[in-house]
Copies of this chain bind each other. A is one copy, B any other.
Amino acid sequence: MKNNAAKIERAHLEDSLGDTAAEMYQLIRRLYPICRSITGNGVRQTLKILQEYVPLVIHEVPSGTPVFDWTVPKEWNIRDAYIKNSKGEKIVDFQQCNLHVLGYSLPINKTVSLDELKPHTFTLPERPDWIPYRTSYYREDWGFCLSHNQLQELRDDEYEVFIDASLENGHLTYGEYFLQGQTDAEVLISTHICHPSLANDNLSGIAVAAFMAKHLGSLPRRYSYRFLFTPGTIGSITWLSLNEAQTSRIKHGLVMACLGDPGKVTYKKSRQGNAEIDRAVIQALKDSGDAYDVLEFSPYGYDERQFCSPGFNLPVGCFMRTPHGEFPEYHTSADNLQFIRSEYLGDSLAKCLAVLDVLENNQTYVNQYPKCEPQLGKRGLYRAVGGDRSRAPYELAMLWVLNLSDGNHTLLDIAERSGLDFGFVKTAADKLLQHDLLKESSLS
C-alpha cells in the first residue's frame, strides 16, 4: 500500500465548506416536505433526489420477507388526511403538516363524536403549540397528531375523520452506495431515512452522509466505503439479514443522526468501547479544539442497536450533535428548517471527515534506526543551533514517531500517548518517511 494514497484533504474541504454547508441545507429544504415512513413512496422520492448527488443503488425488498426475528412489513402510502367539523371546516389537515397523521395509520373515512375521536389523538400538553410525531408500525390503528391547543379547542361535535392511506403488500426500499478503495476492508456509514418532516432527525444525517459520500468519491481511499440510507430499525435489520456474510469486512462504522442543531458534537461509543473507530472519533474531536461529549455505549438509540447486537458486535458508533430526546424539539413539528443551520451541518461534515482522515492514515511504521536516535540534524530535520527552541514542537513530533515506531504502535497510538494532534504526528511521519527513517510496517 502506498503511503501517499488515501489522504483526505480536509484543508481543501474547509476552504469550500461555506458552499458545501449551503448545499446541504438546500438538499434538506428539498427533502423536508416529503412524507417519509419506513416504507412507501416518500422513501423512494427521497432516494431519487439523493441520486442527484451520489449514484446510490435503490433496493426493494418485498413485504413478508423474513429478516431475522422480523418480517418486512406491508408498504404504507398516504395521499391525504383531515378532520372536518360539522361545518365542514378542515380543522386538522395533512396537506399542511404531514406529522398530523399517526405513521402507518389505517385508511378511515367516518363520522365520530368527540369522545370517539379523542383516543385516536396525540398531543404534547407540555408544548401546546407543537405537533408530536407518532407512529404505529406494528399494531394496526389509526390516529391524528395535533397541537394540544388544537385539541383543547375541539367542542362536542360530529367530526369527519378521513385518511386516504393504503397498507398493502409492497416493498421496503433502501439506498446503498459503495465506493471501492485500495482494500476490501470497509467503513460503514449508515443513516435513517424514515422520518417525515423532521429536519434535524434526520434530514441532517442524510445530507451530511450524502456529502461525505460525494466528497470521498473524488479522493484516493485506503478503505472501501459503504453508505446505507435505510429506514430505522427494520432497514438496518433487513440489510444485515441480506448481507450477513459480508459484514466481516466492516472494520469501522458510524451511524449518523441529528447533525444540524446548535449543540456540541456527541459521540456514542460502539459496544466494543475501545475500537479503533471509537479512538479515532475521540482523537478527531479533541484535535478540533471544540467542546464535545463522549457517551458510553447503550443498547438504545439508532441503528447502532442492530450493528452492535451481540451476534454482530460490529465496531460501529453513533455520531450526533445533541442526542435524541435531549433537545425539546425532538420528534415534534418544532424540529423544522429553522431549528437547523448550515454552519452546524458544515461543522458536522468537517468533523466526520477528520475522523475518516485518522482512519485512513492510521498506519504502523518501523523506525529504521531504532538504536539511539538517528541524527536528524545532518538531514536538515533538526535545529542547527543548540538552544534555538523555535522548531521544538516540530522536532518533538518526529522524536515521538521515531520513539514509538517499533512496529507495535499506530500513528493514533502515538498521537494518544504524546498528546499531539493526529495531523501533526502524520506530518512528522511523512517527513521521516521521505528521509527513509521509517518504513511502513508489513503487518498493517
Which A positions have Cβ atoms within 8 angstroms of B?
A: 67-70, 102-103, 122, 132-139, 141, 233, 236-237, 240-241, 244, 271, 298-300, 305-306, 308-313, 325, 331, 367, 369-375, 377-378, 384-389, 392, 395-396, 399-400, 402-406, 418
Contact = CB atoms under 8 A, between A and B. Distances in A.
A66 to B, nearest CB: 11
A365 to B, nearest CB: 11
The A interface is mostly helix, strand or loop, or mixed, namely loop
Contact of A69 (B139, B306, B325, B369): B369
Nearest to A403: B299
Given A69-B369, A367-B310, A402 B299 contact: yes
A315 to B, nearest CB: 15
B309 A371 contact: yes
Contacts of A241: 371-372
21 contacts: A67-B372, A68-B369, A69-B372, A122-B385, A132-B387, A134-B385, A135-B385, A241-B372, A271-B403, A298-B418, A300-B392, A306-B373, A309-B370, A309-B371, A309-B373, A309-B403, A310-B367, A310-B370, A310-B405, A311-B369, A313-B406
A134 B387 contact: yes
A395 B438 CA distance: 52
A298 B396 contact: yes
A400 B369 contact: no
Contacts of A372: 67-70, 236-237, 240-241, 306, 309, 311-312
A197 to B, nearest CB: 15
A112 B8 CA distance: 52
A36 to B, nearest CB: 14
Contacts of A69: 369, 372-375
Contacts of A70: 372, 375
B403 A310 contact: yes
Contacts of A406: 310, 313
Given A68-B371, A299-B403, A371-B244, A377 B311 contact: no
Contacts of A306: 372-373
B309 A377 contact: no
Of A311, A385, A386, chain B has the most CB atoms within 10 Å of the CB of: A386
A243 to B, nearest CB: 12
Contacts of A271: 403
Contact of A103 (B133, B312, B386): B386
A71 to B, nearest CB: 8
A417 to B, nearest CB: 8
Nearest to A69: B374
A404 B305 CA distance: 12
